[in-house]
Chains A and B, each alone.
Chain A
Amino acid sequence: MGRDGAQPAPLRTHRMDVVRYWGEAVALVAADHPEHARRAAQAVRVEYEVLKPLSDPEEALSDDAPRLHPDGNITRRIKIRRGDQDPHADVVVKGEYEVGMQDQAPLGPESGLAIPDGEGGVDLYIATQWLHVDRDQLAECLGLPPEKVRLTMAGIGGAFGAREDLSMQAHACMLALRCGRPVKMAYSRSESFVGHVHRHPARMRYEHGATRDGKLMYVRARILLDGGAYASSSTAVISNACCFAVGPYECANAAIDGWVVYTNNPPCGAMRGFGSVQNCYAHEAQMDKLAEALGMDPVDVRIRNALETGSSLITGQVIDGPVPVAELLRRVKAMPQPAAAASAHLDLTQMPGGVSNTTHGEAVRRGVGYAVGFKNVGYSEGFNDYSTARVKLSVAGGRPRVEVHTAGAEVGQGLVTVQAQIAGTELGVHDVAVLNADTQVGSSGSSSASRQTYITGGAVKAACEAVRERVLALAVSELSGLGRADSDADESGWRLEHDAIVAADGSTVITLATLLGEEVIEETREFRPRRTARLDAETGQANAHMQFAFAAHRAVVDVDTELGLVKVVELATAQDVGKAINPQAVEGQLEGGAAQGLGLAVMEEIQVKDGVIRNPSFTDYLLPTTLDMPPVRMDILELGDPNAPYGLKGVGEPPTISSGPAIVSAIRSASGRPVNRVPVRPHDLLGV
C-alpha cells in the first residue's frame, strides 16, 4: 500500500492469536512495485511465542498431545466393518508402509488480478479449479454478497488439486478493496510450494489373510494421514483412503480404521488420486507378499480376487457397469516386454544414474512389477454433484454458430476441447466457441475427481439436446407453414449435421442459417449424476460412490543395486475409459498421470522437518525429466458405462494410482529389498 516509494502506510494492526504452520499468512503488503512491497514486507514485525511444533501424526492422536484446534486433533475418523470380524485364514501376511508428502508442482504459480468495481464489489481474474466455490468462500471472507464477487478464469498453469483451496485469492481482493486499485499478486516458486496444500503423507499397517489357494479371506488396515495444520479436503481424502483400502479386490471380511489428524505440518489436501494413491502402495505390496507366501504368480493372485460386475465393495456397495480388473491385469501381463539393456554399445541414457556415468552395467538388475488400482469418479458421500451449461445457437456472418458457456475450469486437461467436441457433435455445427469460464453462468463444480468430462460434458450434452429439440420443433413448424413438411416425410429421422437439418436418407432438409435467420436459441441445463450417500459412522457401509475407474500397470525397472539408483525402463498400462471422447487427450492423461505416479515412487517429496519445508524449489524438489520417464505402452479399453454420458469414465486419476506401486514392486523384485516407503531413496535400497 506504499504509494510513494518504500514507505508503507501503516497496516491495520493485524491480531492473530495463533499461527499453526510455517507459511501461514500474517500480514499483507501491496505496493506500486514488487521491490517496494518486498521491502515493506521486511519491515513488518511479528511477535511469536514459539511453541514446540506437533509434527508427528502419531503423536497428534495421543491424549497428551497439544490440541491444535478447539475440537481436538482428529479431523475425521473412519471405521469400516464388513463381514466376519474374526475370520480364519491359512496364510497371513503383514506389512507397514509409508508414503511421503508429494507436491502437485503445477508450473504456473498461484497468481491473480483483483479489480475493485468502485461500488464495493470486486472482479477477480484467477486460475482455479472451481470458480463458484472460490466465489462463495471469498464472499464470506470479504463480507460481501456473492453477486458482488465475480470471478473469471485466467490462464491454466496446471492444478492437480493444488488449486482446489484458496491461496492468494482473498488476499488480492482484500488489498484491492482496501486500496481502491487493481492488485496483482503472484507467488514465487518457493512461495508456491508453501502456499498450496500437498498430498497427505500416510502411515499404513496392513494384515491380509487368504486361503491356501489364494482367496482373500480378510483385510485389516490402519491408515493414518497427516492432514497438517488445517482441514482442507482431508475429510474426503481419508474417506477414499479407507473405502479403497483393499484395492479392487473382493474381500468379504474387512476392518479398516482410518484417521486424518491435525499437526503443525504444511496443510494437505487434494492431489490427483485423492487418497487412493497412498493405499495402493500398501494393498499392492500386500498382494505381492501374499503371492510370495502362497508361491503363486503375483498377477494370478490379483486375478483370483479381482472385483467384477456385481461384486460388493467393503463398504457394501454393489458395483455395476463394466469392472474389468482381471482383464486389465491379463492385458498388461500379455504385452511384450522391452529388451534387456544392450551390452554391446554403452548408452548412458538407458542406465540407472543416466548421463551422470555411474554404471556401465555393473550391479544392474532388472525387475518387473504389477499393480492395479481404482477410485471413485465424481463427488461421493452425498455431496451435491452437478454442472451447468448454457448453449446458444445463432447465425453469424451467414453461418450457424454455437456458443458454449460453463464455469468448468480448464486446468490443462482439455475440457474446452471436449466441450466443443460435444457441442459440435450434438448440434452438427462446425463453428463452436467455448466462452471463457466465469461466474456469470451456474456452477460446474470443480475440475477434480476425474469428473468434468462426465459432469460438465453431460451438462453440455443436455443443453445441446434442449437446443436441438427447439431447432427441430422450429423446423417442423416453419416448414409445415411452407407446406413442405409432409413432402419431406418422416421428421422423426431428422438430425443436425453439417450446419443443416438432414433427413434420415442424408438429404438436406434445410440449412440452419436459413431456418434460424435472426432467431437465437439458448438453453441452460444442469446435469446431475446419480446420488450417493454418506458412510455410516460405525460400519462405513453406504452406496457412497457413483462411478469407479480402473487401471493396471506393469513396470520394468533396472536398479543399480550397489548405488540404489533406478531407471524405469518401461511402463505399460491398460485402462478402461468407457469411451475416449478425445483419444489424444486420453493418451496424454495416461502418460502424464503415470509420470506423476513415477515421481512419487522414486523422487518427489516435500521434506519437512519440525514443520518447515526444507526443499521448496525445483532445485531440490525433483520432478522426473525425459530421461526418467520411459515410454508408456498403452492399451485403452472402451467398455461403455451404461450410466454415463456416451458411456465414458473419468480418466485423469487412475494412471497416477497404480503406476507408482508397479514401479516399487519392480524395484523390490530387482533389488530383493523390502522397500516399504516412497519415494524410494537410494539409501533405502542399500540399507546404509
Chain B
Amino acid sequence: MKAAHPDALPIAGGTDVMVEINFDRSRPDSVIDLASVAELDDWGPEDGYLRIGAGVTYTRIISELGDRLPGLAMASRTVGSPQIRNRGTVGGNLGSASPAGDAHPPLLASKAVVELASSAGIRRIPARDFYVGPKKNAMRKDELIAAFLIEPSNGPQQFSKVGTRNAMVIAVCSFALTLDAKRKRVGTGIGSAAPTPVTAGEAEAFMQGVLDEGGLWEKRGEIDPSALVRFGDLVAAAARPIDDVRGTAAYRRHALAVLARRTFAWAWDEYRRKSVA
C-alpha cells in the first residue's frame, strides 16, 4: 500500500501526526492507519535479539519489556503523560526522528537496528545510521518501519533527561547509557543536543579503556572519580547543541556532562552490587 501511495502519511499512535495537523504544519492528502496492522504490535526473540514491532506502545514497553530493556523502559517512563504513553509508539518516535525523541538515546546506546519494509523487501539499518538530519531519517518513501531489533540487557542501563519541569516535558537534553558486561562494552546515546540523536564514541572508547586497563569488569572495582569527570566531558564534547527556547547550548553541554557522570556512577554501582546474570 505504501508503495502505491508513497505520499500517504502513516499514522500509528497519532501523538505526533495529530499535533502537526492541528498546528497546520502538515496537510496530508491521505493517511495510512497502522493500527489495524496486527504484526506491528508483536514482539518476540530473534537470534539473541528482541524484535519489537513498530506499533508497540511505551506503556507496553514498560510493562512487558521493562526487565529486559531497562534503559528503553526508563526513557519510556519519561515520555509525556499516561495518555501519550498509551498511544505513542517507538515506531512513531523513529518516524518523526526528532532530535528530542526519548526513545533514540537508549536505541543508540544499545546498538539497536531499525527494520524497514517495502514491497521490494526488508532492510535493516543500525540506529546510528538511521538518523540522518533534524527530523530526517533513512526511510524511503515506499517504506514503512516494521520493527526494531535490540539486545536484551547484558548489564545495567540508565536513562536521564533534563527538562524544565518535573514531568510532561520535552528534553532540554538527555543521555542513555548501556553497560554490556558480556562484551565489556559501554554504549551511549545523546538526545536533544545535536541536529540528530548521536552517540559519544570517544567517551565510550575512553571508558572501555579505563575499565579494561584496570581489570575493573572482573574485579568489579571502584571507578576513579577523575575518570567519571573525563567521561562526562567527552560526552559533552560529542554534543553539538544550540540555544533555543528550551535552553542554552552552554547549559546543555554542562548538563550532559553531569548526566553522563551520574548515570555511569549509578550503572557501575549496580554492576558492582550484582553478580553476573
Please say whether chains A and B are actual partners in one complex: yes
Chain A interfacial positions (CB closer than 8 Å to B): 38, 188, 190, 349, 352-360, 362, 562-565, 567, 602-603, 607, 614-615, 617, 619-620, 622, 624-628, 681-683, 686, 688
In the complex, what distance in Å separates the CA atom of A681 from the CA atom of B172?
12
Contact of B164 with A625 in the complex, beta carbons under 8 Å: no
**Residue B259 at the A interface, CB < 8 A?**
yes
A-B contact count (CB 8 A): 95
Contact of B259 with A358 in the complex, beta carbons under 8 Å: yes
**CB-CB nearest 5 A-B residue pairs:** A354-B166, A683-B251, A627-B166, A627-B167, A356-B161
Q: Mark B166-200, 1 if CB is under 8 A from A, else 0.
A: 11111110100000000000000000000000000
Contacts of B163 in A (CB 8 A): 353, 356
- On whether A614 and B162 interact (CB within 8 A), knowing A359-B262, A628-B167, the answer reads no
Given contacts A682-B247, A688-B251, 6 further A-B contacts (CB under 8 A): A188-B22, A349-B166, A563-B258, A620-B170, A627-B167, A683-B251
In the complex, what distance in Å separates the CA atom of A454 from the CA atom of B169?
40
Contact residues on B (Cβ < 8 Å of other chain), bracket: 20 to 34
Interface of A is mostly: loop
Contacts of B169 in A (CB 8 A): 356, 622
Interface centre among A353, A357, A614, A622, by most chain B C-beta atoms within 10 angstroms, is: A357
Which parts of B216-234 form the interface with A (CB within 8 Å)?
A: none
In the complex, what distance in Å separates the CA atom of A681 from the CA atom of B251?
10
Contacts of B57 in A (CB 8 A): none
Contact of A357 with B162 in the complex, beta carbons under 8 Å: no
Chain B interfacial positions (CB closer than 8 Å to A): 22-24, 74, 77-78, 158-172, 174, 245-248, 250-251, 254-255, 258-259, 262, 266
- On whether A682 and B251 interact (CB within 8 A), knowing A356-B78, A358-B162, the answer reads yes
Contacts of B245 in A (CB 8 A): 607, 614-615, 620
Contact of B250 with A688 in the complex, beta carbons under 8 Å: yes
27 contacts between A and B (CB under 8 A): A190-B23, A353-B163, A354-B166, A355-B167, A356-B78, A356-B171, A357-B159, A358-B161, A362-B262, A563-B258, A564-B251, A565-B162, A565-B166, A602-B164, A603-B165, A615-B245, A620-B245, A620-B246, A622-B169, A625-B165, A625-B166, A626-B167, A628-B167, A681-B164, A681-B247, A682-B162, A686-B254
In the complex, what distance in Å separates the CA atom of A157 from the CA atom of B254?
41
Contact of B160 with A682 in the complex, beta carbons under 8 Å: no
Q: Give the shortest distance, in Å, between B211 (CB) and chain A (any CB).
A: 22
Contacts of A614 in B (CB 8 A): 245
| Partner among B24, B160, B246 whose Cβ is within 8 Å of the Cβ of A38 | B24
- On whether A353 and B258 interact (CB within 8 A), knowing A38-B24, A626-B167, the answer reads no
Contact of A688 with B165 in the complex, beta carbons under 8 Å: no
Interface centre among A188, A567, A628, by most chain B C-beta atoms within 10 angstroms, is: A628
Contact of B160 with A622 in the complex, beta carbons under 8 Å: no
- On whether A688 and B254 interact (CB within 8 A), knowing A355-B78, A627-B166, the answer reads yes
In the complex, what distance in Å separates the CA atom of A352 from the CA atom of B163?
10
Closest residue on chain A to residue B266 by CB atoms: A360
| Partner among A355, A562, A615, A628 whose Cβ is within 8 Å of the Cβ of B258 | A562
Closest residue on chain A to residue B171 by CB atoms: A356
Closest residue on chain A to residue B164 by CB atoms: A603
- On whether A622 and B162 interact (CB within 8 A), knowing A562-B258, A682-B172, A686-B251, the answer reads no
Contact of B251 with A355 in the complex, beta carbons under 8 Å: no
Contacts of B158 in A (CB 8 A): 357
Contacts of A682 in B (CB 8 A): 162, 164, 172, 247, 251, 255
In the complex, what distance in Å separates the CA atom of A188 from the CA atom of B77?
30
Contact of A625 with B167 in the complex, beta carbons under 8 Å: yes
In the complex, what distance in Å separates the CA atom of A562 from the CA atom of B22?
38
Contact of B170 with A619 in the complex, beta carbons under 8 Å: yes
Contacts of A622 in B (CB 8 A): 164-165, 169
Contacts of A188 in B (CB 8 A): 22
